[in-house]
Chains A and B, each alone.
Chain A
Amino acid sequence: MLSLRNVSVRLPKGAEREFALQDIDLDVAAGEILCVVGESGSGKSLTAMSILGLLPAPRVTLAGGTIAFEGEDLASLPPARLRAIRGKRIGMIFQEPMTALNPLMPVGRQIAEVLEEHARHLTRIMVLAQVQALLEEVGIPDPPGAARAYPHELSGGQRQRAMIAMALAMEPRLLIADEPTTALDVTTQARILALIKEIQARRGTGVLFITHDFGVVAEIADRVAVMQHGRIVETGPAAQVLGAPAHPYTRALVGAVPPLTPPARAATVPGADILVVEGLRKTYRTGSLFGRRRVVDAVQDVSFTLHKGETLGIVGESGSGKSTVARTLVKLLPADGGSIRLNGTEIRAASRAAFRPMTRHIQMVFQDPYASLNPRRRAGDLIAQGPRIHGASRAEARATAERMLALVGLDPASAGRFPHEFSGGQRQRIGLARALALEPSVLVADEPVSALDVSVQAQVLRLLAELKQRLSLSLVFITHDLRVAAQVCDRILVMYRGVVVEQGETAAIFAAPTHPYTRALLASVPGRGWAPPPAPVQESL
Chain B
Amino acid sequence: MRTLRAYLRSPAGIIGAVLLVAVIAAALSADMLFPRDPMALAGRPLQWPGANPRVPLGTDNLGRDIAGFVCHGARVSLLIGLVASVVAVGIGVLVGAVAGFYGGWVDDLLMRITEAFQTVPNFILLLVLVAVFGSELGVITIAIGLVGWTAPCRLVRAEFLSLRSREFILAARGLGMRDAQLILGEVLPNALPPVIVYASVVMALAILLESALAFLGLSDPNIASWGNMIGAGRSVLRTEWYVSAIPGAAILVTVLAFSLVGHGLNDALNPRMQVL
Q: Which A residue's beta carbon lies closest to that of B187?
A: A374
Q: Digit string of A378-390 for contact with B (CB within 8 Å is 1, else 0)?
A: 0000000110011
Contact partners of B53 in chain A: CB under 8 A: none
Q: Are A390 and B167 in contact (CB under 8 A)?
A: no
Interface of chain A residues 375 through 401 with chain B (CB within 8 A): 375-376, 385-386, 389-390
Contact partners of A368 in chain B: CB under 8 A: 167
Contact partners of A360 in chain B: CB under 8 A: 176
Contact partners of B276 in chain A: CB under 8 A: 12, 14-15, 59
Contact partners of A363 in chain B: CB under 8 A: 174-175
Given contacts A385-B177, A390-B176, contact A434 B190 (CB under 8 A): no
Contact partners of A438 in chain B: CB under 8 A: 175
Q: Are A374 and B174 in contact (CB under 8 A)?
A: no
How many angstroms between the C-alpha atoms of A363 and B177 in the bound complex?
13
Q: Are A389 and B177 in contact (CB under 8 A)?
A: yes
A102 at the interface (CB under 8 A from B): no
A373 at the interface (CB under 8 A from B): yes
B166 at the interface (CB under 8 A from A): yes
A357 at the interface (CB under 8 A from B): yes
Contact partners of A373 in chain B: CB under 8 A: 168, 171
Contact partners of B166 in chain A: CB under 8 A: 371
Given contacts A12-B276, A15-B276, contact A374 B175 (CB under 8 A): no
How many angstroms between the C-alpha atoms of A135 and B213 in the bound complex?
66
A423 at the interface (CB under 8 A from B): no
Contact partners of B177 in chain A: CB under 8 A: 385, 389
Contact partners of A15 in chain B: CB under 8 A: 276
- Please give the distance in Å from B163's CB to the nearest CB on chain A: 10
How many angstroms between the C-alpha atoms of A366 and B173 in the bound complex?
13
B35 at the interface (CB under 8 A from A): no
B172 at the interface (CB under 8 A from A): yes
Given contacts A15-B276, A371-B166, A376-B189, contact A359 B174 (CB under 8 A): yes
Q: Are A330 and B174 in contact (CB under 8 A)?
A: yes
A523 at the interface (CB under 8 A from B): no
Most chain A C-beta atoms within 10 Å of own C-beta, residue among B170, B174, B181: B174
How many angstroms between the C-alpha atoms of A368 and B186 in the bound complex?
18
Given contacts A12-B276, A374-B186, contact A386 B175 (CB under 8 A): yes
Given contacts A366-B167, A372-B168, A373-B168, contact A389 B176 (CB under 8 A): yes
Q: Which B residue's beta carbon lies closest to that of A352?
A: B179
A residues sitting closer than 8 Å to B (CB atoms) are: 12, 14-15, 59, 327, 330, 332, 355-360, 363-364, 366-368, 371-376, 385-386, 389-390, 431, 434, 438
> Other than the known A14-B276, A368-B167, A389-B175, what 15 A-B pairs have Cβ atoms closer than 8 Å?
A59-B276, A327-B170, A330-B174, A332-B173, A356-B178, A357-B176, A359-B174, A371-B166, A374-B169, A374-B172, A375-B168, A376-B189, A376-B190, A389-B181, A434-B175
